[in-house]
């Protein structure tokens, strides 16, 4: 393991001078295997880990550390923390600095009630004073890059300006803004006007996050917000070519067309990459359904692929369904935008599950 050399400036993007792209941190998604698959189709400029939970008993989770230590994508990775205790956050930072991270990212956005009720993640947005204390400590502990990922507020954007001023006061190096409140979860309209407001108020570069569905939308959102780049989550699960397409869009080229045959290749690659040794086939198939819930939003307008895919129980059945829907017309375009009204709804979604945390089990488009 190479010890981290603390960088002092943001690493250059893959296309110098162009807006940045980043893969949004997603618990249970952005692990080593998923990042490798995304990098195969065109890496983003920056990766972020799933959040490391910080509390009295916590030690940095081994599987998340793997995504840092075994990162061969060639792109820098920021380690995200969620927590509120200054001492334990400082201890975790020191542990993470022994790994090859690009910097430390603070989660100020997770909207899961189980998380925000502990006053961490999005819950902290209610307490700017506490956020100030955490940022002061992190700034003192982190010799290199300190980044923050935040929503625009808890129930409303009343604290937004105070929080943005803290970003300046503590010399945060990069701010990602998901343009929704915690209460708005994942489905409301995104307040791009407030992302634009953040861009005008903070000194550091801002990444615009929330419903960046395609390269064309990324271009439009950058025009609206004047952000330094985009951070993309769910739509990179649906379309892992999106970062390459963004670079093409930003350089004035037409983004490369993706076909259904390309998507069949993606499904196969994802299946093999995410297959943990010894995992029961049925469980691997269920795991795939969570990703395919997003992929299916661009396969057909009727949702027929999603319907059939959700009913499979074995690898053979799953790939038969993929072949039927993706290889019948292999040259047909996989459209860059999702079909309207085709919803990614994991079959396990229940109101109870919504209290569990930020995970694919609980979050739908
Ligand atoms: C399954 C899932 C897990 C997530 N986990 C995290 C997380 O660990 N840390 C975080 O800051 N945000 C997390 N998020 C929020 C995303 O990073 C992102 O802000 C949100 O999905 C909006 O962006 P999008 O519209 O591009 O998906 C998660 C989102 C999803 C869908």
Distances (CA, A) of 156 to 24, 32, 134: 23, 35, 22
pLDDT at 358: 52
Q: Is residue 76 part of a domain?
A: yes
pLDDT at 349: 33
110 is catalytic: yes
17 alpha carbon to ligand 1 midpoint, in Å?
26
Is 340 within 8 Å of 284 (Cβ atoms)? Answer: no
109 alpha carbon to ligand 1 midpoint, in Å?
9
Q: Whose CA is nearest to atom 5 of ligand 1?
A: 26
- Residue 76 sits in the same domain as residue 191: yes
360 alpha carbon to ligand 1 midpoint, in Å?
9
Is 114 within 8 Å of 122 (Cβ atoms)? Answer: no
Q: Is residue 302 part of a domain?
A: yes
Q: Structural domain of residue 153, as residue ranges?
A: 20-250
Q: Is residue 365 part of a domain?
A: no
pLDDT at 362: 44
* Catalytic-labelled residue, pool 110, 204, 246, 322: 110
- Residue 192 sits in the same domain as residue 228: yes
What's the CA dihedral at 60, 62, 122, 94 to 10 degrees?
Answer: 30
Q: Whose CA is nearest to atom 28 of ligand 1?
A: 26
Question: Is the beta carbon of 209 within 6 A of some atom in ligand 1?
Answer: yes
Q: What CATH number is associated with residue 159?
A: 3.20.20.70
Pocket test for ligand 1, best of 125, 206, 208, 358 (most atoms within 8 A of CB): 358
329 alpha carbon to ligand 1 midpoint, in Å?
33
Crossing angle of helices 260-273 and 281-295, in 10° steps, is: 140
Q: Whose CA is nearest to atom 14 of ligand 1?
A: 26
Last residue of a domain, one of 250, 284, 310: 250
The parts of the chain modelled with pLDDT lower than 50 are 1-7, 347-357, 361-365
Q: Whose CA is nearest to atom 30 of ligand 1?
A: 26
pTM of the model: 0.94
Q: Is residue 360 part of a domain?
A: no
Q: Whose CA is nearest to atom 21 of ligand 1?
A: 233
Question: Is the beta carbon of 214 within 6 A of some atom in ligand 1?
Answer: no
Crossing angle of helices 160-169 and 128-141, in 10° steps, is: 20
- Residue 201 sits in the same domain as residue 229: yes
- Residue 27 sits in the same domain as residue 87: yes
The beta strands (E) that lie in 154-249 are given as 174-181, 206-209, 229-232
- Residue 211 sits in the same domain as residue 343: no
* Cα gap 106→267, rounded to integer Å: 32
pLDDT at 355: 31
Number of domains in the chain: 2
- Residue 109 sits in the same domain as residue 37: yes
- Residue 333 sits in the same domain as residue 206: no
Question: Is the beta carbon of 29 within 6 A of some atom in ligand 1?
Answer: yes
Last residue of a domain, one of 250, 275, 304: 250
pLDDT at 344: 77
Q: Is residue 361 part of a domain?
A: no
- Residue 68 sits in the same domain as residue 207: yes
Q: Is residue 7 part of a domain?
A: no
Task: Name the nearest CA neighbour of 161 among 211, 146, 24, 169.
Answer: 169
């Amino acid at each position: 393991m190479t010890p981290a050399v603390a960088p002092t400036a943001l690493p250059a993007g893959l296309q110098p001078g162009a807006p940045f792209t980043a893969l949004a941190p997603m618990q249970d998604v952005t692990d080593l295997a998923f990042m490798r698959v995304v990098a195969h189709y065109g890496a983003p400029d920056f990766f972020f880990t799933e959040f490391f939970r910080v509390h009295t008993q916590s030690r940095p989770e081994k599987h998340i550390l793997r995504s840092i230590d075994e990162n061969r994508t060639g792109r820098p990775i920021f380690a995200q923390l969620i927590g509120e205790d200054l001492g334990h956050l400082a201890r975790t930072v020191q542990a993470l600095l022994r790994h090859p991270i690009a910097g430390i990212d603070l989660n100020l956005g997770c909207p899961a009630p189980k998380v925000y009720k502990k006053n961490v993640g999005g819950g902290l947005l209610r307490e700017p004073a506490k956020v100030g204390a955490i940022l002061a400590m992190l700034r003192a502990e982190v010799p290199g890059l300190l980044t923050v990922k935040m929503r625009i507020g808890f129930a409303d954007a009343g604290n937004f300006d105070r929080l943005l001023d803290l970003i300046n006061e503590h010399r945060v190096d990069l701010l990602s803004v998901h343009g929704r409140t915690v209460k708005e979860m994942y489905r409301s309209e995104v307040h791009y006007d407030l992302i634009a407001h953040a861009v005008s108020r903070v000194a550091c570069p801002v990444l615009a996050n929330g419903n960046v569905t395609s390269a064309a939308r990324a271009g439009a959102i950058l025009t609206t917000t004047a952000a330094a780049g985009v951070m993309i989550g769910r739509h990179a699960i649906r379309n892992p070519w999106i970062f390459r397409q963004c670079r093409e869009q930003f350089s004035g080229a037409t983004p490369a067309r993706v076909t259904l045959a390309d998507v069949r290749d993606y499904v196969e690659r994802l299946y093999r990459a995410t297959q943990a040794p010894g995992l029961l086939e049925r469980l691997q198939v269920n795991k795939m359904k969570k990703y395919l819930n997003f992929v299916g939003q661009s396969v057909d307008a009727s949702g027929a692929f999603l319907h059939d895919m959700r009913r499979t129980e074995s690898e053979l059945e799953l790939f038969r369904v993929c072949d039927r829907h993706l290889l019948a017309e292999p040259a047909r375009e996989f459209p860059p935008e999702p079909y309207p009204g085709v919803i990614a709804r994991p079959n396990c979604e229940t109101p109870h599950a919504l209290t569990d945390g930020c995970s694919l089990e609980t979050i739908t488009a």
